[in-house]
Chains A and B, each alone.
Chain A
Amino acid sequence: MLTTAEMLQMYRTMALITATSDRASAEVKSGSLQSAFYPVRGLEGVCGALSIAVTTEDQLVSTYRSLGDALAKGSNLRGVIAEIYGRSDGVCGGKGGPMHLHDTSVGFMTSTGIVGSGIPIAVGLGIAAQLDGAQRAVVTTFGDGATSIGAFHEGMNMAGLWKLPVVFLCQNNQWGEHTPIAEYAANTDLAGRAQAYGMRTVRVDGFDPVATAEVLRDALARARNGEGPTFVEAVTYRLTGHSGSADYSYMPADELAAALERDPVPSFRRRLLESGAASESDLAAIDAEVVAQVDDAFAFAQASAPPEQDLRYRDVFADTAALAGTGVAL
């Protein structure tokens, strides 16, 4: 059972994710943000649930659609937005960009632009946690499309084989770029497929943050207790185009409209009000704070300086001396 305080915290995170995602999409559309950006609209419930299920010790490996995951893991909004802009104050100093957010200070280990490839990396972090005898779990998020790639199957097999403390969180938004799930999967029962790897699997309504949080809490607790991996299929729907301000023409209008009826933040807001867990003024106050926080982060990012040129060859190797012989003049 979630406490009221936890529900409000979850609402705050979800609202922050929606507002940030929408703002970034708008900035892309206006041309102020010249970058690939993958909106996370539709995933807010899953990310909100994640935010209250993980501890700071837990580790997370995400994908290019990582904005919500980064905020769920507690990464600083200013640093995240500055990174999306490629500025010096970004969490990676501007060298990662929106597809490659990392913030190890909060256990946000990496995010990858290669579909599915974070899965074996999370498996390795899981081996490390197991060897350390640590009470931490590793979560890896990925889309439904990632369940088609070899890396997914290799990683799942290893996790099942070695009973690793990894939670595989499939953010099933039912689209792989422009292809709907039924057109690319022979068996669209992803949880059912995952079962074959010798692990627990759970399917949950990803538009229901409370149910998702309960499932994730349980899965994470089991992982930390040495009870092995869980595959969680959180079923949602992508409420925007694939990237930036992309087109929606290929998405069935009725399907999208039905999904928008269940848009996670407004529907959770209604639920909090109806259940009496929060009042209109409580939520309005959170909404206002969120708007201010997003405005502040975008202003901060836009004012942040681009990285200095001499950073270009830093961090290729630990020591720039290793660049000797490559023709790099330092």
Chain B
Amino acid sequence: MTTAAFLSDDAAGAAQTEVMTMAQALNSALHLAMDADSKVLLLGEDVADPIGGVLKISKGLSTKYGRDRVRPTPIAETGIIGAAVGLAMGGYKPIAEIMFMDFTTVCIDQIVNHAAKLRYMSGGHTPVPLTVRTGVGTRRFGAQHAQNLEAWFMHTPGIKVVVPSTAADAKGLLASCIDDPDPCLFVEHFDLVFTQKDEVPVGLHKVPLGKAAVRRPGEHVTVITYGTQVRNAVAAAETLAEQGISAEVIDLRTLVPLDMETVLESVERTRRAVVLHDAHTFCGPGAELAAQITETLWADLLAPVLRLGAGYSPVPFAAGLDFHPTSDDLVAAVHQLMGR
């Protein structure tokens, strides 16, 4: 798979780009945001230099902006998100880092009951312009460092959920989250952070929230996906193309707001759909997408909408245990949809 396939729409037209990793793109977004607005600050465990974050994504920031704005915190996730909520209420634009998405369970009260609801409960008086950055682990760390919990947050009205698949999107979507008037959960996949490289605009770059990207146009089937699975979907689409099946790959980019318009427009044409993600299939984001597609396009569909996601078990450590869908799984699912 080539880098070009991952070029973000929004990056394509930009004047000056540079090939960088998602980690570098995120670091660049943070530098630019802190430079542009003195109200932007970062807090989390180990975020300050010299370590610059356990994944080095905040490298250089505390040296440049000081430890007031790049604040290393105690190991206290509830405290971190609570403090970030208070900072947001106090006129700042905090970015709180929760090292692993699994640890959002420790502060789910602050995210779900406070950040997401304060605007509503206060009748609009208390906005919480907070960005929570969190990583989804690789299986290398086992079951407590690898869970895709995005469906939990999609199920909570009031918080936006963003999952980039390209470096350019990571930069542009993070910038949009920081500037957004609402709380955003920004999910960084460890599988992508260091290996995903693409053309990224050098200066300020924003990708709007709620706008999916068509990564590959196609006619016979629509694959709806996001995050790490975009790679698998594009790879599967290439295999399918060799077999004479043209698959359209939609990268949702944000799960809330959810760009159903792009999804429905595509499925209306292709009349077949598969939703693919790393989260559990059961009650996962795909359940919502499949239901909405079916409700809207029932009469047009040539086959039931399929879902491909993780099995209903904690994430197993051993690489040999099948867990996340592969591009081969997707190829097989598309064959099933095509009746082959």
Contacts and interface: CB of A to CB of B under 8 A. Distances in A.
Contacts of B260: 324-325
Interface string A311-330: 00011111101111111000
A117 B113 contact: yes
Interface residues of B, number: 50
B66 to A, nearest CB: 10
A188 B114 CA distance: 29
Given A120-B110, A127-B86, A325-B260, A151 B78 contact: yes
26 contacts: A92-B125, A95-B123, A96-B122, A102-B118, A102-B126, A105-B125, A112-B113, A114-B114, A117-B110, A117-B113, A121-B86, A122-B86, A124-B82, A124-B94, A131-B41, A131-B92, A151-B79, A154-B74, A155-B82, A158-B79, A158-B83, A316-B157, A318-B181, A318-B182, A322-B160, A326-B257
Among all A-B residue pairs, the 10 with the closest Cβ atoms = A124-B86, A120-B82, A128-B90, A325-B258, A154-B79, A93-B123, A124-B83, A154-B76, A102-B122, A92-B123
A158 B123 contact: no
Contacts of A128: 86-87, 89-92
Contact of A317 (B76, B84, B182): B182
Nearest to B119: A315
Given A95-B123, A119-B82, A128-B89, 16 more contacts: A92-B125, A93-B124, A114-B114, A120-B78, A121-B85, A124-B89, A127-B71, A128-B91, A151-B110, A154-B78, A155-B82, A315-B122, A318-B119, A322-B160, A324-B261, A325-B210
Interface of B: 41, 68, 71, 73-74, 76, 78-79, 81-92, 94, 109-110, 113-114, 118-127, 157-158, 160, 180-182, 209-210, 256-261, 292
Contacts of A122: 86
Nearest to A120: B82
A299 B110 CA distance: 36
Given A324-B257, A325-B260, A110 B126 contact: yes
A129 interface: yes
B122 A123 contact: no
A105 B256 CA distance: 31
Interface string A135-149: 000100000000000
A131 B68 contact: yes
Contact of B258 (A127, A132, A314, A324): A324
Interface in A150-199: 150-151, 154-155, 157-158, 161
A315 B125 CA distance: 9
A100 interface: yes
Contacts of B209: 322
Nearest to A93: B123
A68 interface: no
